[in-house]
């Protein structure tokens, strides 16, 4: 079996040889990026035996580093590419998939960078506290009420990773003058599912889907095909990050995103968008997101990745 000690450095070196590909006039970087992305997925799936949490990180890391080649080529072309320093910062320090802000480096520090960092630190502390409180309040809870601590652990980890570490990363880049913004933009303010998924939640996925899938398909096949393809792509990416590491629950994350797309194109488009009551719209979004949430985060993923991760992040025994 392929050793993790060999594969990990190869994955981490993707930006180094990816930069050479972007500069090579004889190679199509978009095709190359997709090729190595699929290659690494197959390599990890069939050649690496490791803890599910580690497998998840390998899948995510190799996929995002490979597809940064795709988005850089699709968004900037060969003539307007980032220089080497800009490219390395884009690949190694930022989870987002839009390379354009890095073109401004070097630049004066942005004055609000400290607020991003402090906000990130506060969210990490809140997430750690919520894990500790959940451990205390729901110790020994099982059976039909087990979903409550599981949901609280999901929220805690999201606070730490999505709203904590990524906010600190944005603050540090803004300190360098790179005008990146939060990848999670006040999602609870969403008044529609469309707004939630396209403008507020996980902008890294939005950028990746828009640049790598939506725009190319929209030009060739039109808006409707591009819309459905973007949700199919999102479903497949979540299968990669959620089902594949635990080798279980296949089809459930995919079904979750197809349900979201169906609700947007039917109920929301024809009924919810005609309602002016903000409370009803917010309730609609929350129900649609959370009612099928355990399709997305299925049982095996919860038990093999979320629970161990929550244990690692427990600060109070």
Domain ranges of the chain: 4-93, 110-178, 185-317
User: Does the reported pTM lie above 0.75?
Assistant: yes
Tokens 């640049």 correspond to: 211
Cβ neighbors of 244 (< 8 A, separation 6 or more) are: 41, 45, 55, 59
Q: Provide the 3-class DSSP secondary structure of residue 24.
A: coil
Residue 91, classified by CB atoms within 10 Å of its CB into exposed (0-12), middle (13-18) or buried (19+), is buried
Tens of pLDDT, residues 200-250: 999 999 999 988 888 888 888 888 899 999 999 999 999 999 999 999 999
pLDDT of residue 142: 67
Cα–Cα distances (Å) from 73 to 16, 97, 224, 315, in that order, read 15, 12, 25, 43
DSSP H or E segment with residue 238: helix 223-238
Q: How far apart are CA 234 and CA 206, in angstroms?
A: 9
Low-confidence ranges of the chain (pLDDT < 50): none
Question: Using an 8 Å Cβ cutoff, are 193 and 260 in contact?
Answer: yes
pLDDT of residue 1: 54
Q: How far apart are CA 274 and CA 45, in angstroms?
A: 46
């Amino acid at each position: 079996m392929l050793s993790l000690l060999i594969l990990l450095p190869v994955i981490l070196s993707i930006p180094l040889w990816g930069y050479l590909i972007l500069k090579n006039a004889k190679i199509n970087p978009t095709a190359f990026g997709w090729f190595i992305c699929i290659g690494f997925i197959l390599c990890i799936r069939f050649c690496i035996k490791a803890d599910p949490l580690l497998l998840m990180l390998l899948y995510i890391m190799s996929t995002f580093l490979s597809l940064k080649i795709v988005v850089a080529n699709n968004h900037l072309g060969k003539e307007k590419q980032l220089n080497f320093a800009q490219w390395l910062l884009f690949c190694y320090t930022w989870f987002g998939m839009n390379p354009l802000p890095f073109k401004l480096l070097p630049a004066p520090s942005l004055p609000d960078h400290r607020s991003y960092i402090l906000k990130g630190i506060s969210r990490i502390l809140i997430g750690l506290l919520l894990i500790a409180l959940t451990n205390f309040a729901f110790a020994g809870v099982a059976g039909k009420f087990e979903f409550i601590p599981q949901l609280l652990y999901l929220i805690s980890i999201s606070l730490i990773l999505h709203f904590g570490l990524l906010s600190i990363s944005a603050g540090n880049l803004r300190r360098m003058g790179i005008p990146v913004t939060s990848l999670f933009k006040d999602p609870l303010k969403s008044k529609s599912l469309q707004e939630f998924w396209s403008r507020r939640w996980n902008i890294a996925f939005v950028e990746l889907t828009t640049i790598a899938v939506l725009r190319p398909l929209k030009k060739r096949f039109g808006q409707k095909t591009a819309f459905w393809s973007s949700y199919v792509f999102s479903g497949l990416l979540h299968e990669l990050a959620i089902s594949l590491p635990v080798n279980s629950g296949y089809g459930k994350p995919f079904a979750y995103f197809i349900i979201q797309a169906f609700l947007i194109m039917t109920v929301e488009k024809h009924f919810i968008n005609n309602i002016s009551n903000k409370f009803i719209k917010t309730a609609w979004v929350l129900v649609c997101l959370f009612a099928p949430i355990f399709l997305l985060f299925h049982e095996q993923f919860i038990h093999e990745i979320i629970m161990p991760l929550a244990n690692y992040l427990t600060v109070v025994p």
